Amino acid sequence: MPNDKRPIYFTTPIYYVNDKPHIGHAYTTIVADYLARANRVLGRPAFFLTGTDEHGARIAEVAREHGRTPQEWCDEHSEHFKAAWKALSIEYDDFIRTTDKRHEAGVQIMLDRMHKAKTADGQPVLYEAEYTGLYCMGCEKYITERELVEGRCPLHPNRELRQLTEKNYFFRLSSYLKEVEAMIQDGRITIRPDERRKEVLGLLKYGLEDFSASREKVDWGVPLPFDPSQNAYVWVDALPNYITAIGFGADEAKFTQWWTEAESTHLLGKDILKFHAIFWPAMLLSIGEAVPEHLFIHGYFTVNGQKMSKSLGNVIDPHALVKAFGPDGTRHLLLTQFQFGQDGDVKAEEFLRQFNADLANDVGNLVSRAVKLIDRHFDGQRPEVGAREAIDDELREAALTAVDQFDDGVGRLIPNDAILAALNLSRAANRYMEQTAPWNLAKSGDTDRLGTVLATVVEAIRVSAVLLSPGIPNKARQILKALGFTKPEDELSPDAIRGWDRCPGPFTLPESIFPRLDKAAIDLSGKKEEPKQVAENVISIDQFFETQLRTAKVLEAEAVKGAKKLLKLQIEVGTENRQIVAGIAEHYKPEDLIGRTIVVVANLQPAKIRGVESNGMLLAASNGKTLRLVTADGEIPSGSKVG
């Protein structure tokens, strides 16, 4: 077992409450749950944290679009995540929400300490400055020129970037970059896989600018304790969740146990690597707190070779998987699809085959055969163990080998390898059954040998069940109960997995552990079945809000040469001036349009009409030969949202 017996602390990212959970969220959370449970089996105290990220301009905007207050929206969507984790038998030690009062208080304590802190050369850690740049609402961050891909945010290419100018407080990141780099280089901060470590070192080598620690034009957030006119920037608010949940600023003993003296491990996706590997350690260094020891970055999910997308209809709902395979089956299938840390392709058609092979055959059938033989030939009581043969000792050695391999896989944070070790023990026990043929021993009346064989195989089943328990917690307990353990939780321990001759009996199996599935009718999206008769051209409310309708003021208008139906309009949309082409020349004179407030589709892809560029489309109502523009009923600033 690992020499390091310090408490170990596992965290997932806190999930943004702009949507319901899918298997990408579930995967990271199941891995964290698995690793926490597995470490406890190995005798190591573990704490597992997950939660939801609930502040920021985007949340406030989405809430308004759906007619909710930001708090109402967050309350509802945070419950979606809790419900999904309950369905998947995920047992977190704490669930943090960034709208929790304890979190907001902790963030303000951290900000106050930053505000009072000085860098090594005596400069204030936080300082006021004005910044102008392109802001991505999807990322909730400014996008630098070198990050742009064809003028767009690489993660949200369909979103319009906003040109913002703000006077904010900035975090002096530049003063901590060398120290963060040194900690990564010498292993005080480990980043895995190694390609992600190299990626971070490349960012550090290139250089990073100081970042904004506050926003002056965002209302939905945590106010700065020293300047309530500004709210904490979303990442400065979100990242401290890892310490506010374990007592930072409120419970010093708990904070010391699970942060200062523990082995901290953040599990996260590669899209948020920079914030966790550079920003977060720098923030902690600025206030003299310990940095996270380990960052393990998993890859991206695809489904049958395609990126998960609502438009493709391949977003897999965890509830749909649970309905088909049960919570333990779903956990096992997601944990074993591919190596943690790599990009992976989920092939739904493989789920049924793997469920039957790993769980129904290798685990469930083995338990059923052994328990039924003991029930039939020993009245369900623990058989007496006679003289052992070499093959019996080999199975016990296989169990000890499995424990060592499980320990190694857990220590390397690779659930796949740890689970394989447990499955290989089940497979060894199945081979042992075939080689010793206890059914033939029963027929021949060799009760002594039959008892030894069955007592040996149930011990292998017991160890395998304990090793499998982090992944299939409910079924593992069911197996242990079938072996006579009235308190199966007590068997999830280091002594148990290295011990032998522990099964007490009586042996009974009221129902199959993993019934074989012949068919798994699974709706991957988890959507309810639509009625057969549906209206044509019907869209959802979410599809409607994908269209950005804005008010616009007409500044200039003129006819398009050679096109009697077209007018070219110069319009003002908020702070932006645009040109659009509209087929309204037969209904409106150019001079009649100047000064009017019209409604336009602001996020329409630019196009050329009769060789003239048009960046948007105005709205008009028509009936036969009559056409009327959609205009604002009264004064309202250009750029105002419609809908």
Query: 272: Cβ–Cβ under 8 A, 6 or more apart, which residues?
Result: 13
Tell me phi and psi for residue 96, to 5 degrees: -100, 140
> d(Cα 581, Cα 525) in Å, to the nearest integer?
40
Report the alpha-carbon distance of residue 303 to residue 22 in Å, rounded: 12
DSSP letter for 386, please.
-
Q: Which residues pair with 598 in a beta bridge?
A: 552, 631
The residues, any chain, with a CB within 8 Å of residue 80's CB and separated by 6 or more, are 20, 21
Question: How is 553-605 classified by DSSP, letter by letter?
Answer: EEEEEEEPTT-TT-EEEEEEETTEEEEEEES-TTT--HHHHTT-EEEEETTSP
Cβ–Cβ under 8 Å, residues 104 and 338 = no
**Which residues are known catalytic residues?**
22, 25, 136, 139, 153, 156, 307, 310
DSSP helix/strand/coil, 8: strand
Alpha carbons 45 and 39: distance in angstroms, whole number: 7
568: which 2 tokens? 């070219």
**Distance between alpha carbon 584 and the CA centroid of its chain, in Å?**
49
3-state SS, residue 10: strand
As a whole number of angstroms, the distance between CA 296 and CA 626 comes to 63
Residue 622 dihedral angles phi and psi, to the nearest 5°: -135, 150
Residues 421, 414: Cα–Cα separation, whole Å: 11
Structural tokens at position 145? 């020129």
Helices (H) and strands (E) in the chain, counts: 22, 27
Integer Cα distance of 459 and 105 in angstroms: 51
Q: Is 290 left (phi over 0), alpha (psi -120 to 50) or beta?
A: beta
Q: Which of 576, 619, 626, 631 is nearest to 134 (CA)?
A: 576
What gap in Å lies between CA 243 and CA 255, rounded to an integer? 7
> Partners of 576 in the beta sheet?
573
> In terms of C-beta density within 10 A (0-12 exposed, 13-18 middle, 19 or more buried), how is residue 133 classed?
middle
Dist. CA 550–CA 584, nearest whole Å: 19
**Structure token digits, residue 201:** 């070192």
Three-state SS string over 434-452 comes to HHHCHHHHHHHCCHHHHHH
Which pair of tokens denotes residue 271?
Answer: 């899209």
Q: Give ∠ CA 388-393-394 in degrees, rounded to 5.
A: 140
Pair of tokens at residue 83: 């419900």
What tokens does 574 get?
Answer: 């908020």
How far apart (Å, rounded) are the C-alpha atoms in residues 244 and 297?
A: 22
CB 575 within 8 A of CB 593: no
Q: How far is CA 426 from the centre of its chain?
A: 31
- ω before 154 within 30° of 0 (cis)? no
Cβ count within 10 A of residue 12: 23
